[in-house]
């Protein structure tokens, strides 16, 4: 190979190298630009996703807060409603209790007045009437009160007053109240005891129970009273 041919070969290789370097540089620029573009696109997508996520979180927080406020409002409304209901129930119960107490006191005073004047029960005359006879336990706490007690030298009559008489009052008078009376007032244990219940109204069942236990029944009749004592029993 001559010197000229060698020079041409070297020159050709140099040209090819420059072209290759230029091509590689161009490819690198294109790749870098592509990576930069994709990176920017990715950044944009991430930014968009982050914003959407933030908006979703914010909306969730608003919904949770709105739900919490509604729950608190509902709870407060229900609390006030329950308080008002409790107040009405308590006030109604108090009024009913007062009405019941007043009616019971009226019956007690009415029959005490009649027996204080009459001093007679079941065909037996008595010397005196003791109203509201009380007995206390050892701690001075009221154990029981007897509305009307009629006394003579041979007999006593224990009469309880009620506005409206129930059948269970008969049983309680015989099985509960009479034994307590005997226990707390032994000075009368040598005397026969007659039992009665006075009220403004009573049912057929009350009459049956009274006859079964030998308890007299007394009720209002105009300005006086009428007594059912044909089955009266001495205890």
Same-domain pairing of 126 and 184: yes
pLDDT (tens digit per residue) in 213-229 = 999 999 988 878 899 99
Domain count, the chain: 2
Same-domain pairing of 126 and 223: yes
Percent of the chain with pLDDT over 90: 43
CA pair distance 139, 151, nearest whole angstrom: 28
Length in residues, the chain: 235
**Model pLDDT, residue 97:** 43
pLDDT (tens digit per residue) in 54-74 = 888 788 788 878 777 776 776
pLDDT (tens digit per residue) in 101-128 = 444 578 899 999 999 999 999 999 999 9
Same-domain pairing of 66 and 157: no
pLDDT (tens digit per residue) in 185-208 = 999 999 999 999 999 888 899 999
CA pair distance 32, 185, nearest whole angstrom: 118
Same-domain pairing of 75 and 130: no
* Residues spanned by the domain of 143: 119-228
**Model pLDDT, residue 12:** 74
Per-chain mean pLDDT for the chain: 81
Same-domain pairing of 80 and 124: no
The answer to whether the beta carbons of residues 121 and 216 sit under 8 Å apart is: yes
Judge whether residue 34 has pLDDT over 60.
yes
Same-domain pairing of 56 and 134: no
Last residue of a domain, one of 69, 101, 133: 101
pLDDT (tens digit per residue) in 9-22 = 666 776 676 776 67
Same-domain pairing of 156 and 210: yes
The answer to whether the beta carbons of residues 170 and 213 sit under 8 Å apart is: yes
| Residue with more model confidence, 148 or 138 | 148
Listed range (98-102, 134-138, 173-177) with the worst mean pLDDT: 98-102
Same-domain pairing of 3 and 83: yes
Same-domain pairing of 27 and 87: yes
Same-domain pairing of 164 and 94: no
Same-domain pairing of 88 and 148: no
Q: Is residue 108 part of a domain?
A: no
Same-domain pairing of 86 and 173: no
The answer to whether the beta carbons of residues 159 and 148 sit under 8 Å apart is: yes
């Amino acid at each position: 190979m001559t010197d000229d041919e060698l020079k041409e070969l070297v020159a050709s290789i140099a040209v090819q190298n420059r072209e290759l370097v230029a091509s590689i540089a161009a490819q690198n620029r294109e790749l870098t630009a592509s990576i930069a573009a994709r990176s920017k696109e990715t950044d944009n997508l991430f930014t968009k996703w982050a914003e959407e996520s933030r908006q979703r979180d914010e909306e969730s927080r608003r919904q949770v807060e709105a739900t919490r406020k509604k729950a608190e409002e509902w709870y407060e409304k229900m609390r006030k409603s329950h308080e008002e209901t409790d107040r009405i129930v308590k006030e109604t119960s108090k009024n009913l209790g007062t009405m019941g107490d007043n009616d019971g006191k009226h019956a007690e005073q009415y029959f005490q007045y009649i027996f204080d004047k009459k001093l007679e029960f079941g065909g037996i005359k008595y010397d005196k009437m003791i109203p509201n006879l009380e007995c206390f336990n050892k701690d001075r706490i009221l154990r029981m009160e007897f509305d009307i007690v009629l006394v003579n030298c041979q007999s006593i009559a224990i009469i309880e007053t009620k506005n409206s008489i129930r059948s269970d009052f008969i049983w309680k008078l015989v099985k509960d109240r009479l034994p307590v009376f005997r226990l707390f007032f032994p000075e009368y244990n040598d005397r026969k005891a007659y039992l009665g219940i006075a009220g403004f109204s009573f049912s057929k069942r009350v009459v049956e129970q009274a006859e079964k236990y030998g308890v007299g029944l007394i009720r209002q009749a105009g300005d006086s009273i009428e007594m059912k004592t044909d089955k009266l029993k001495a205890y």
